[in-house]
Amino acid sequence: MGGVYLGFWGVGWLPLFGFLGALLVSVLVYGLAWWQRFSISGFILGGVVISFICTSLVIFLLSWLPLSASQWLFFLLVGDLSGVDIRLLPWVVLVVLGGVLLLLGLGRSVEVLALGREKAYSLGVEVGWLMPLVFWITAWIAGSCVSAAGLIGFVGMMVPHIGRLCVGGNLERLLPFSIWLGGIFLMLADTLSRVIFYPRQVPVGAITGLLGGIFFLVLLFGRDREV
């Protein structure tokens, strides 16, 4: 948004500004979580607060942009693959692959951390350095993907849940399987966005958001029945 507002429309500028914006948001969320001693609620509340602030700033900036730029940015903000430049692919793959290898290298410690901060402490995991490290690795991966394709919601939330049901919670199996399944899911969602209302095109983020919302509603009602 800042790059467009300042007049930087080039292919290299917009992803750069998007990536820097993602890192800035990560710093703010990390700061709020640090203030709350890295509690789960601190991460969640920090993310929600920063999200509302950024949404308000985006709406404010959109009101000052020309109509043509506003329409283009709408697709970028809700997630769209039609405007992705293939020249960005090597850079995104390099960042994602590096982050995935780092997470796989941490191995069992990340799996134990998923059980909760207190339980990880009791099992001997150095939570003090591991939580910030995992946070920054995932922020780096997410920032690179969002800067290239926009905000495509629910893929990173829904696919790991499905992957865990298919291959279990072992990180060495779950992470590669989630990458593979996430790619297939996004490809199918993008195909639907292009053909379901043809000749009009719906942003792929709208399709993934709808499917993700339905998925978590089913998951929620399923847990209520089990209780």
Residue 226 pLDDT > 80: no
pLDDT value of residue 118: 77
In tens, the pLDDT along 131-176 reads 888 888 888 888 888 877 777 888 888 898 899 889 988 888 999 9
Q: Which residue is listed with tokens 């700061």?
A: 31
User: Does residue 14 lie in a domain region?
Assistant: no
User: Does residue 216 lie in a domain region?
Assistant: yes
Q: What is the 3-state secondary structure (H, E, C) of the chain?
A: CHHHHCCCCCCCHHHHHHHHHHHHHHHHHHHHHHHCCCCHHHHHHHHHHHHHHHHHHHHHHHCCCCHHHHHHHHHHHHCCCCCCCHHHHHHHHHHHHHHHHHHHHHCHHHHHHCCCHHHHHHCCCCHHHHHHHHHHHHHHHHHHHHHHHCCCCCHHHHHHHHHHHHHCCCHHHHHHHHHHHHHHHHHHHHHHHHHCCCCCCCCHHHHHHHHHHHHHHHHHHHHHHHC
pLDDT value of residue 178: 92
How many structural domains compose the chain? 1
* For residues 80-89, average pLDDT: 77
* For residues 202-219, average pLDDT: 86
User: Does residue 199 lie in a domain region?
Assistant: yes
pLDDT band at 181; cut points 50, 70, 90: very high
Task: Enter the pTM of the model.
Answer: 0.75
Residue 87 pLDDT > 60: yes
In tens, the pLDDT along 53-74 reads 877 877 777 777 776 666 667 7
User: Does residue 130 lie in a domain region?
Assistant: no
pLDDT value of residue 188: 92
pLDDT value of residue 13: 58
Type of residue found at 226: E
Q: Check residues 127 and 109 and name the one with the higher pLDDT.
A: 109
Asked if 146 contacts 22 with a C-beta cutoff of 8 angstroms, the reply is yes
In tens, the pLDDT along 6-63 reads 444 444 556 666 677 777 877 887 777 777 676 666 677 777 778 778 778 777 777 7
Beta-carbon contacts of 91 under 8 Å, excluding residues fewer than 6 positions away, are 144
Residue 177 pLDDT > 90: yes
Q: Supply φ then ψ for residue 21, to 5 degrees.
A: -65, -40
Asked if 123 contacts 183 with a C-beta cutoff of 8 angstroms, the reply is no
User: Does residue 171 lie in a domain region?
Assistant: yes
Asked if 16 contacts 76 with a C-beta cutoff of 8 angstroms, the reply is no
User: Does residue 81 lie in a domain region?
Assistant: no
Q: Check residues 123 and 210 and name the one with the higher pLDDT.
A: 210
pLDDT band at 200; cut points 50, 70, 90: confident
Range(s) of the domain holding residue 156: 152-227
User: Does residue 139 lie in a domain region?
Assistant: no
pLDDT band at 101; cut points 50, 70, 90: very high
User: Does residue 27 lie in a domain region?
Assistant: no
